[in-house]
Amino acid sequence: MFGEVPNTHVGQEFSNRRRAHEAGVHRPTQGGICGTKRNGAESIVVSGGYKDDEDYGNVIIYTGHGGQDSSKNQVSDQTLEDSGNAALVTSYLNGLPVRVLRGAHARSQWAPAEGYRYDGLFRVASYGSKLGIDGFRIWQFRMEAVEGTPLPVPTPQGDQGRLPEVDTEKAPTGSESPGRVTATIQRVVRSSAVKRQVKAWHNDRCQICNLQIEVPGGSYSEGAHMHALGSPHDGPDTTGNVLCLCPNCHVMLDAGAIVLGDDLTVIRGGVPAGRLRTDPRHAIDLDCVRQHRERWRQ
């Protein structure tokens, strides 16, 4: 249950956690993170319970779960073993959208005046640990609103002094000072249900070089279309057209440094270099293999 929930809209208010639970926007009535290490986090609640949280409207610095006593003081270190924190790492590694609910509290102008409000989809842009205000290790997740998510109307009683963060990596090129180009999108890799299926079959192991990139909290791979989507290529968005690759082999496939033979030989720089690893559940579409190879004239 990732992404938008039927019959709810961004900005919708809920008088309490029970109502948000019934609507399906945040299913647990207690925890702040809904999700598992295996599947990722489907939703979080930002309600002022962690004093290290920071809220800039379209960017939220969200403190992970754990280590608090009943008075909301941090009394021990947080870890990535906590299932809620591990779920947010999985969301980062797979680029999954996370529903954000904000709850009323006095410290933020972006919190609702009362109750809870669904504020749309965010993604985990980065994360890391530091010593928190109370002197214990906390994990923090930088949550960024997905494109098109509207800012809520600021609440007057909230902290008005804090300005939205400027992320210098996110400055759109089109609006920069004349003659200067400092920020450009270099590579955008998107996940989809089709890609996630292929990645799961291969357990994030590259079908070309066999590398499985392990990171704290999970593993990482990318779904790569052979016959590219969109004009002028117009390939199909099917599992037969998608390979599970490490980022390096993905770059080489997309730029024609690697093509495949009809017998699934990997041809790298024009030279045969092993064979694509396959899985019985994952039938490769040979039309797509040929289309990709023909695109690079090999």
- Determine the interface stretch with a second copy among 26-34, 103-111, 121-129, 151-159 (rule: CB under 8 A): 121-129
- Determine the interface stretch with a second copy among 28-36, 110-118, 139-147, 273-281 (rule: CB under 8 A): 139-147
Pairing relationship of beta strands 40-46 and 98-103 according to DSSP bridges: parallel
Q: Does residue 125 bind a second copy (CB under 8 A)?
A: yes
The nearer residue to a second copy, 167 or 279, going by C-beta atoms, is 167
Distance CA 287, CA 263 (A): 12
Of 72, 57, 65, give the one whose Cα is nearest residue 110. Answer: 57
Q: Does residue 267 bind a second copy (CB under 8 A)?
A: no
Q: Does residue 76 bind a second copy (CB under 8 A)?
A: no
Residue 178 structure tokens: 């004349």
- Determine the interface stretch with a second copy among 6-14, 31-39, 43-51, 278-286 (rule: CB under 8 A): 6-14
The nearer residue to a second copy, 123 or 277, going by C-beta atoms, is 123
Of 164, 25, 49, give the one whose Cα is nearest residue 101. Answer: 25
Q: Does residue 7 bind a second copy (CB under 8 A)?
A: yes
Q: Does residue 217 bind a second copy (CB under 8 A)?
A: yes
Q: Does residue 118 bind a second copy (CB under 8 A)?
A: no
Q: Which helix (H) or strand (E) holds 51?
A: none
Q: Does residue 161 bind a second copy (CB under 8 A)?
A: no
Q: Which residue has the tokens 């002022």?
A: 48
Q: Which long-range contacts (CB under 8 A, 24 or more apart) does 177-180 make?
A: none
Q: Work out which of 214, 281, 283, 286 binds a second copy, going by CB under 8 A.
A: 214
The nearer residue to a second copy, 157 or 220, going by C-beta atoms, is 220
What mask, x for binding a second copy by CB under 8 A, covers residues 12 to 51? ----------------------------------------
Q: Does residue 246 bind a second copy (CB under 8 A)?
A: yes
Q: Work out which of 3, 11, 272, 274 binds a second copy, going by CB under 8 A.
A: 3
Q: Work out which of 230, 262, 271, 280 binds a second copy, going by CB under 8 A.
A: 230
Pairing relationship of beta strands 98-103 and 265-268 according to DSSP bridges: unpaired
Q: Work out which of 156, 161, 216, 280 binds a second copy, going by CB under 8 A.
A: 216
Q: Does residue 120 bind a second copy (CB under 8 A)?
A: yes
Q: Does residue 189 bind a second copy (CB under 8 A)?
A: yes
Q: Does residue 140 bind a second copy (CB under 8 A)?
A: yes
Q: DSSP letters of 198-261?
A: HHHHTTTB-TTT--BEEETTEEE-EEEESS-SSTTT----SGGGEEEE-HHHHHHHHTTSEEE-
Tell me how far, at minimum, the Cβ of 147 lies from a second copy, in Å: 6
Distance CA 56, CA 39 (A): 27
Q: Does residue 94 bind a second copy (CB under 8 A)?
A: yes
Burial 266-277 (b: 16+ CB within 10 A, else e): bbbeeeeeeebb
Q: Does residue 280 bind a second copy (CB under 8 A)?
A: no
Tell me if the bond preceding 232 is cis, omega within 30° of 0.
Answer: yes
Q: Quick one: residue 37, left, alpha or beta (phi over 0 = left, psi -120 to 50 = alpha)?
A: alpha
